[in-house]
């Protein structure tokens, strides 16, 4: 299956390579290409470097470009004029690239991948800082709905499971990416709750933002046609210690 | 008689010669209201374009324009590289897959070039930029032959460039000078009119 590729446009070759390194760990099957620095190894952006990076990243499903500073955006825009199916994401470079990579790994198209990157701007997703949303509505709402769903009469009511994390780092980097990827492929809206915080199950950054560690218990709720499968998938991943 | 890839290469060579000839004039215009590198940058850019033609000869008008575009973007610093680069890039896309350019194709290419410059630079008519030469050129670009279209465009661009003298710059580095930018011709508008004149002269031969 061909996936959307990513190009990281940066003024620095080292910065671009570092962002690619982080993203590659989260999304092993996505082509993420670094396009940083000038042709002679200096600080700046180079049109030819970006142009060939786009070609390299395009596997037929299109390319999403991320950039660090203003003039990198202009170079990216010009390079995109030569490409068949390329989009620019206005997103923070590291968070945006990671979110885009996970989304692309899950098989999203260029528009969805761009949105995933841009949603990372308001990171971490729906997660509220501790205490800023006392007795947040989602929590009460979910619990109430579960009581109803016990009768199996309402298809739209969220199903919910409690899962204890037994791996050491909990829902951090790789495990969070693993969950987000698995959820992206399912037709279900998945929310992970930890304390007062909630996170979209498809958002690696929001999941990481929960700060759930080994030994912590999270609640996972899901709605949609594949809600049950989503919950089972989460439970399976946790039972396998997220393949850590 | 259409304009082939070979004709277009000849025209670009003439453009490069014109830019080299007017290098000092453009530097002086830019020194008055900008940072003085416009003549130098354009000259270096078009010399690099000639070198690119030596490496490989593009086989369609669109490919010629694309070579010019990518070379200018890579080699020309400041705003001129991206702006002229985008102009040539859009012109290239506008005439894709055409073996020869007729008068309507030339008008289409010029229109696309203007669209690219406006999209990239966000300048409007009267901002004292190359748009002030290119916009009237596009409006005037019509005729029964390529030579007529380009002659009309070049004349209008020249008038447009002259008309930038009293303007106060609202875009680019010259805008930092405010009122003091009035009284000088915009170097970008001047170079645009020079380019179109070179195209027109080759087409007339």
Query: Strand, coil or helix: what is B52?
Result: helix
pLDDT of residue A113 exceeding 50, the answer is: yes
- For residue A118, whether the previous peptide bond is cis, meaning omega lies within 30 degrees of 0, is no
Q: Is A22 exposed, middle or buried (0-12, 13-18, 19+ CB in 10 A)?
A: middle
In CATH, which superfamily holds the domain spanning B5-204? DhaL domain (1.25.40.340)
Write down the pLDDT at residue A131.
37
Compute the distance between CA of residue B66 and CA of residue B60 in angstroms, rounded to an integer: 10
Q: Low-confidence residues of chain B, pLDDT below 70?
A: 1
- Mean pLDDT, rounded, of chain A: 84
Rounded to an integer, what distance in angstroms lies between the CA atom of residue A90 and that of residue B26?
36
Question: Which residues of A participate in catalysis according to the annotation?
Answer: 11
Among B48, B77, B79, B82, the residue to mutate for chain A (most A Cβ within 10 A): B82
Q: What confidence tier does A147 reach under pLDDT thresholds 50, 70, 90?
A: very low
Q: Is the pLDDT of residue A139 over 70?
A: no
The answer to whether residue B52 neighbours chain A at the CB level (below 8 Å) is no
Contacting residues of A for B82, CB less than 8 Å apart:
74-75, 78
Judging contacts by C-beta atoms under 8 Å, the chain B residues touching residue A47 are 70, 73-74, 85
Question: Which alpha helices (H) appear in A81-226, and where do they start and end?
Answer: 93-105, 110-119, 137-149, 173-184, 204-209
Q: How far apart are CA B165 and CA A220, in angstroms?
A: 68
- pTM flag (> 0.90): no
Contact A69/B at CB under 8 A: no
Q: C-alpha angle A82/A86/A88, rounded to 5°?
A: 110
Q: In what order do the strands lie in the sheet with A197-200?
A: A159-164, A217-223, A189-194, A197-200
Residues in CB range of B133: below 8 A, 6 or more apart: B157, B158, B160, B161, B164, B188, B189, B190, B192, B193, B196
Average pLDDT over residues A18-23: 95
- Per-residue pLDDT, A125: 42
More confident residue, A106 or A125: A106
| DSSP SS3 for B74 | helix
Distance from CA of A192 to the nearest CA of B (A): 43
Determine, for residues B90 and A81 on separate chains, whether the beta-carbon distance falls below 8 Å.
yes
Chain A residue with minimum CA distance to B89: A81
- Determine the pLDDT at residue A134: 37
The DSSP line for A81-116 is TT-SSEEE--S-HHHHHHHHHHHHHTT--HHHHHHH
Contact status of B86 with chain A (Cβ, < 8 Å): yes
pLDDT score, position A122: 57
Contact A78 B93 (CB under 8 A): no
Of A48, A81, A82, the CB nearest to B74: A48
Burial B10-33 (b: 16+ CB within 10 A, else e): ebbbbbbebbeebbeebbebbebb
pLDDT of residue B1: 60
Nearest chain A alpha carbon to B66? A82
Q: Give residue B89's Cα distance to chain centre.
A: 12
pLDDT band with cut points at 50, 70 and 90 for residue A37: very high
Reading the block at residue B126, the tokens are 């009267």
Residue A111's CB is within 10 A of a number of other CB atoms, namely 12
- Sheet of A86-88, strand order: A32-36, A5-10, A63-67, A86-88
- Quote the pLDDT of residue A150: 38
Task: Give the integer Cα–Cα distance in Å for A38 and B68.
Answer: 20
* pLDDT, mean of residues A224-238: 93
Among A143, A153, A151, A157, residue whose Cα is nearest residue A189:
A157
Is B73 an interface residue toward A (CB < 8 Å)? yes
Q: Are A164 and A236 in contact (CB under 8 A)?
A: no
Phi, psi of A58 (to 5 degrees): -85, 115
Of A194, A242, A181, A193, give the one whose Cα is nearest residue A222. A193
User: What pLDDT digit, counting tens, does each position of A170-184 carry?
Assistant: 998 889 989 998 998
Closest CA to B68 of B184, B188, B195: B195
Q: Which domains does chain A have, with CATH numbers?
A: 5-122 (3.40.50.510), 137-243 (3.30.1340.10)
> How confident is the model at residue A120, as a pLDDT?
82
Let me know: does A35 contact A8? Beta carbons within 8 Å: yes
A146 pLDDT above the threshold of 90: no
Q: How far is B77 from chain A (nearest CA, A)?
A: 11
Place of tokens 């890039």: B89
Using DSSP, state whether B70 is helix, strand or coil.
helix
Q: What is the pLDDT of residues A91-111, one digit of tens each?
A: 999 999 999 999 999 889 999
Per-residue pLDDT at A97: 96
The answer to whether A48 faces chain B, any CB pair under 8 Å, is yes
């Amino acid at each position: 299956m061909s996936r959307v590729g990513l190009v990281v446009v940066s003024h620095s070759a080292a910065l671009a390579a570092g962002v690619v390194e982080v993203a590659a760990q989260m999304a092993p099957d996505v082509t993420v290409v670094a396009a940083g620095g000038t042709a002679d190894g200096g600080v700046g952006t180079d049109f030819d470097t970006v142009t060939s990076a786009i070609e390299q990243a395009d596997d037929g499903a299109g390319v999403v470009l991320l950039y660090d500073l203003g003039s990198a955006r202009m170079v990216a825009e010009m390079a995109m004029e030569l490409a068949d199916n390329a989009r620019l994401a206005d997103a923070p470079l590291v968070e945006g690239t990671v979110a885009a990579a996970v989304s692309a790994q899950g098989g999203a198209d260029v528009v969805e991948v761009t949105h995933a990157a841009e949603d990372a701007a308001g990171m971490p997703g729906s997660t509220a800082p501790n205490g800023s949303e006392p007795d947040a509505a989602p929590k009460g709402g979910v619990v109430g709905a579960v009581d109803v769903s016990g009768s199996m009469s309402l298809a739209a009511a969220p199903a919910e499971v409690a899962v204890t994390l037994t791996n050491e780092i909990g829902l951090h980097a790789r495990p969070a990416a693993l969950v987000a990827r698995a959820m992206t492929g399912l037709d279900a809206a998945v929310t992970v709750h930890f304390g007062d915080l909630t996170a979209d199950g498809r958002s690696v950054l929001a999941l990481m933002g929960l700060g759930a560690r080994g030994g912590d218990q999270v609640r996972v709720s899901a709605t949609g046609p594949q809600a049950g499968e989503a919950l089972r998938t989460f439970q399976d991943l946790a039972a396998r210690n997220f393949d850590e | 008689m259409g304009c082939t890839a070979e004709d277009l290469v000849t025209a670009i060579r003439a453009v490069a010669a014109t830019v080299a000839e007017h290098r000092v004039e453009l530097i002086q215009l830019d020194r008055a209201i900008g940072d003085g590198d416009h003549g130098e940058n354009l000259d270096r850019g078009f010399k690099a374009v000639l070198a690119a033609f030596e490496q490989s000869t593009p086989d369609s008008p669109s490919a010629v324009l694309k070579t010019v575009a990518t070379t200018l973007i890579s080699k020309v610093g400041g705003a001129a590289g991206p702006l002229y680069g985008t102009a040539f890039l859009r012109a290239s896309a506008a005439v894709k897959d055409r073996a020869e350019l007729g008068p309507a194709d030339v008008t289409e290419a010029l229109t696309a070039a203007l669209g690219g410059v406006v999209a990239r630079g966000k300048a409007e008519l009267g901002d004292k930029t190359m748009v002030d030469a290119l916009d009237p050129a596009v409006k005037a670009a019509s005729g029964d032959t390529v030579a007529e279209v380009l002659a009309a465009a070049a004349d209008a661009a020249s008038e447009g460039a002259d008309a930038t003298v009293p303007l106060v710059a609202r875009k680019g580095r010259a805008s930092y000078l405010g009122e003091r930018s009035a009284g000088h011709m915009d170097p970008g508008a001047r170079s645009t009119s020079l380019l179109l004149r070179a195209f027109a002269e080759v087409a007339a031969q």
